[in-house]
Amino acid sequence: MKNIWRITVPVAMVGGLLAAGAAPAVAATPAAYTVTIKATSPHYPTAVRGKVDGFALVVYKAGNGLNTGKISGQITGAVANDVVTLLAKPFGATSFAPIGTPIPLPAPLATQPYSFNVHPSVATKYEVQVSTGTTVDQTSASATVYVSAGGRATSFPIHCTNGHCTNKVRAHILVPTALAYRTESPKHTYLYLTLRRAPRFIPLSHASTASRARKVNPREFVVTLTFRFNSSNPHPLPFEFACVKDTEAKDGLGLPGHHGCGAPRISVRARYVG
């Protein structure tokens, strides 16, 4: 958060002298505008204080608030009738543009909070502006909400023959753009599996496989995951997980950097794998 500060203006001496015994008249100086901003994902299940591995993250087209991020902060120095406007710059855009409905600020207070709910389709940078009429008083720094691909999965019953078991999962993947389809649909899917109870880690399953993506429409594809394992238990309950490596810089989906997908094993305590 930026420090709260105010401008002071030195008193100018008219003609180089001040009248004896007379107090100089000093015009009141308006407070400097200060705007803080942060992005959070309050509904993401593994978020800690609204962050997933340090990022705000939502799920494309998901329900239960999973597609909703929050842009919030505080404003100092505002006056009555000032308004707060949210600006957005989605992945691939060249400039910020206003979105949503500006928020009018109430009577002046030392510090005034604001918040906007956002539903980005791809990674989106946000700024807020404080304005008096048509004059922009202050623009905040930017904060980003990232987006992971959405979809749904259908798991079929586990089938075992002579201790050799398979479990098929059909994953429907939803992506927001044609670019994301071209980038995401060919990706290699990494499958993880363990039969251990209360495991600390889940190893990469080299016996399990994923099919090539089958196109449903320009924004959806299907991948069939086949988990394979051996078990003497006629009703095994494996821990299963699948992921693809993020390429956020290419298509605006996932998180920046690498988050464990493809490693020989992943921790069951991982908040995000991509």
CATH of the domain at 199: 2.60.40
A 10 A CB-CB count for 140 gives: 23
Q: Could you tell me the residue range of the domain that residue 261 belongs to? A: 150-267
Tokens 């855009």 -> residue: 93
Per-residue tokens: 72: 């919030």
Is residue 18 within 8 Å of residue 28, measured between CB atoms? no
Please tell me the distance from the alpha carbon of residue 37 to that of residue 85, in angstroms, as a whole number. 12
12 located within any domain: no
Cβ 96 vs Cβ 88: under 8 Å: yes
Q: Would you give per-residue pLDDT tens digits along the chain (274 residues)?
A: 333 222 222 323 233 322 333 333 332 334 588 999 999 999 999 999 999 999 999 999 999 999 999 999 999 988 888 999 999 999 999 999 999 999 998 766 778 999 999 999 999 999 999 999 999 999 999 999 999 999 999 999 999 999 999 999 999 999 999 999 999 999 999 999 999 989 999 999 999 999 999 999 999 999 999 999 999 988 889 999 999 999 999 999 999 999 999 999 999 999 999 9
Confirm whether 206 is domain-assigned: yes
The answer to whether residue 246 is domain-embedded is: yes
Q: d(Cα 4, Cα 38) in Å, to the nearest integer? A: 17
Count of domains forming the chain = 2
Q: How many residues are there in the chain?
A: 274
Q: Is residue 89 part of a domain?
A: yes
Q: Select from 148, 166, 198 the last residue of a domain.
A: 148
